[in-house]
Amino acid sequence: MSAGALPGGEPGDLAQRCAEVEKLAAMGGAEAGEELVRLLADPSWYLRERVVDALGRRDDAAESIRRALREGEWWARASASEVVGRRADAAALPELIRGVEDRNVFLQKSAVRALVAVADRAGIQLVAERLAALEPARRRRVLARVGHQAPHWLQPLEEELGRVPAERVAEEPASPRGDPAAEDAETQALVRFRAWLDGAAGGAKG
């Protein structure tokens, strides 16, 4: 692809910024890593993809990446989620879960993909234990979005949640807010989705 065809912004300017990414990627040290993390907020998706690739190959910016997951615009947080997925950084699970809970669907998708990547590398039980410690309404919300974005992964995760010792699973609060029937339509949709899955599995066995 020629510089004139680069997507996003002025072609020459974007080509120059991409060259800067390559320069930073070749440099070692925390300062270069920090600068790459800042570029996750760049408005060009093309440049952000190159930054994600560069950060996925280095080990000196983990804390800055986790901070980027907590702060900034949704596209910067989504790109940071992609980096975490490539690195399978289990230490970023709290931030990833917040990303799954975000209202922005693109951020949700990136965060769920990263959760799956962490589970593949670090073990699904680690993700299940983190979810088990959440307040139940939050846990159901996360499961609803996992079911929407990665339905094939929902059942194994729920099965792993079922293996977490009861004393490590956060209980329902005493207030009416803990009533699943009073929760939002998204969480209620998970109940219907689970019923459909169970019915489909039963039909397949029959």
List pLDDT tens digits, range 15-34: 898 999 999 999 988 899 99
- In the prediction, which pLDDT does 1 show? 33
3-state helix, strand, coil in the chain (%, to 5): 80, 0, 20
- Dist CA 204 CA 198 (whole Å): 10
- Residues 44-61 pLDDT 10s: 999 999 999 999 988 888
- Residues 84-111 pLDDT 10s: 999 999 999 999 999 999 999 999 999 9
- In the prediction, which pLDDT does 184 show? 64
Q: What is the pTM of this model?
A: 0.77
Tell me the mean pLDDT in the region 63-68.
92
* 9 pLDDT more than 50: no
Band of pLDDT at residue 2, cut at 50, 70 and 90: very low
Q: How many CB atoms lie within 10 A of CB 61?
A: 23
Question: Which CA distances in Å does 183 have to 107, 158, 162, 177?
Answer: 22, 19, 22, 7
Question: Which segment of 7-21, 90-104, 114-128 scores lowest on mean pLDDT?
Answer: 7-21
